[in-house]
């Protein structure tokens, strides 16, 4: 999710022209499908000035040329990471997890009563709170227990947050909203009393990977459930439509797609039906 623009203005270390801003917008869209609106100029400067300073590049035009060169291939991920941020929480939008536990997973278990194969994907996993919340529900519905072959994939565009999610270390206040039973079962305090660590059994239930949704997807699916919340809001309508079609292609018939609270696929896809608040079921 895009960060908020910095407050106030200050003298700039680097020249940053309207043409530079447009070039950044174009590059971000080409690389990640993310559309920046006109009001994000200060945000872009504030975030990318750090990269110019770190690389000792004096001008934005040179920085963008570097990104597009063979030598700057490794800088692409830093460019994308710099312009995105990730706000999330455990069991954010709790009605989604209630639906997952009470409707989606029972249907999934019925569908797979013979092969015991269940696949879920957190697409835009941020720092891990979403997939860990899903994994807790999987445990509580006994889908993490044998004989079920249950796999949960968690991906994000930002390699830094994927690393944080994989580590599973959080400030203690991050789990304040969890029930006491869940906190005790799935987290243990770290020395110093300020952080907690996700227990190994929950970490082992999730495969974390960096993935650009605009690129080819290495996984074949099919998936039974996909969470893609607070992601598509940053794409333009043609990109959203393309992404919804790709999700439909990789979901089982009757599988579920969860979107964020301010997102919709109204007039963008006829392959899903709305069955709850930002909860969609694949129909074709």
Residue 136 lies in a domain: yes
DSSP string spanning 199-223? -HHHHTTEEEEE--TTS-------E
Q: What share of the chain is helix, strand, coil (3-state, %, to 5)?
A: 40, 20, 40
Whether residue 74 is found in the same domain as residue 124: no
Output the CA torsion 23→24→30→31 (10° steps): 150
* Residue finishing a domain among 82, 109, 133: 82
Phi (first) and psi of residue 184, to 5 degrees: -70, -35
Evaluate whether 203 touches 192 at the Cβ level (below 8 Å). no
pLDDT for position 47? 93
pLDDT for position 145? 79
pLDDT for position 10? 59
Query: Rounded to an integer, what distance in angstroms lies between the CA atom of residue 247 and that of residue 233?
Result: 16
Range of the domain at 68: 18-82
Whether residue 31 is found in the same domain as residue 102: no
Whether residue 125 is found in the same domain as residue 165: yes
Positions annotated as catalytic residues are 47, 156
Q: What's this model's pTM, rounded to 2 decimal places?
A: 0.83
Residue 39 lies in a domain: yes
Whether residue 159 is found in the same domain as residue 76: no
pLDDT for position 42? 93
Token pair 């009563």 is at which residue?
113
* Residue finishing a domain among 42, 59, 82: 82
* Residue finishing a domain among 59, 82, 105: 82
Whether residue 122 is found in the same domain as residue 255: yes
Residue 25 lies in a domain: yes
Whether residue 115 is found in the same domain as residue 200: yes
pLDDT for position 8? 45
Residue 112 CB partners (closer than 8 Å, separation 6+): 118, 148, 224
Number of domains in the chain: 2
Residue 99 lies in a domain: yes
Residue 183 lies in a domain: yes
Whether residue 46 is found in the same domain as residue 149: no
Residue 106 lies in a domain: yes
Whether residue 76 is found in the same domain as residue 100: no
Residue 98 lies in a domain: yes
Q: Is there a cis peptide before residue 107, judged by omega within 30 degrees of 0?
A: no
Whether residue 66 is found in the same domain as residue 107: no
CATH of residue 122: 3.40.50.150
Whether residue 77 is found in the same domain as residue 184: no
Evaluate whether 156 touches 124 at the Cβ level (below 8 Å). yes
CATH of residue 35: 1.10.155.10
Whether residue 130 is found in the same domain as residue 223: yes
Whether residue 128 is found in the same domain as residue 176: yes
Mean pLDDT by 10 residues, the chain (284 residues): 49 93 95 87 94 96 96 90 81 96 98 96 96 97 90 95 96 92 96 95 96 95 96 91 98 97 93 97 98
Residue 13 lies in a domain: no
């Amino acid at each position: 999710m895009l960060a908020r623009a910095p407050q106030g203005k200050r003298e700039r270390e680097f020249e940053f022209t309207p043409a530079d801003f447009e070039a950044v917008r174009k590059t971000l869209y080409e690389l990640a499908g993310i559309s920046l609106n006109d009001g994000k100029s200060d945000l872009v400067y504030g975030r990318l000035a750090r990269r110019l300073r770190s690389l000792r590049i004096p001008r934005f035009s040179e920085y963008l040329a570097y990104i597009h060169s063979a030598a700057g291939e490794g800088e692409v991920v830093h460019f994308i990471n710099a312009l995105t941020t990730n706000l999330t929480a455990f069991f954010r939008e709790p009605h989604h997890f209630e639906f997952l536990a009470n409707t989606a997973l029972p249907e999934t278990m019925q569908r797979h009563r013979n092969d015991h194969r269940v696949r879920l994907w957190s697409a835009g996993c941020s720092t891990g709170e979403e997939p860990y919340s899903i994994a807790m529900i999987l445990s509580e519905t006994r889908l993490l227990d044998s004989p079920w072959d249950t796999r949960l994939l968690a991906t994000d565009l930002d390699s830094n947050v994927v690393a944080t999610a994989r580590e599973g270390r959080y400030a203690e206040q991050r789990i304040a909203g969890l029930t006491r039973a869940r906190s005790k079962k799935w987290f243990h305090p770290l020395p110093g009393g300020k952080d907690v660590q996700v227990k190994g059994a929950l970490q082992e239930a999730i495969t974390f990977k960096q993935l650009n949704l605009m690129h080819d997807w290495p996984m074949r699916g099919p998936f039974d459930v996909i969470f893609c919340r607070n992601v598509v809001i940053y794409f333009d309508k043609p990109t959203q439509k393309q992404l919804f079609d790709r999700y439909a292609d990789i979901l089982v018939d009757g599988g579920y797609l969860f979107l964020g609270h301010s997102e919709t696929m109204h007039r963008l896809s006829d392959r899903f039906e709305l069955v709850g608040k930002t909860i969609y079921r694949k129909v074709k």
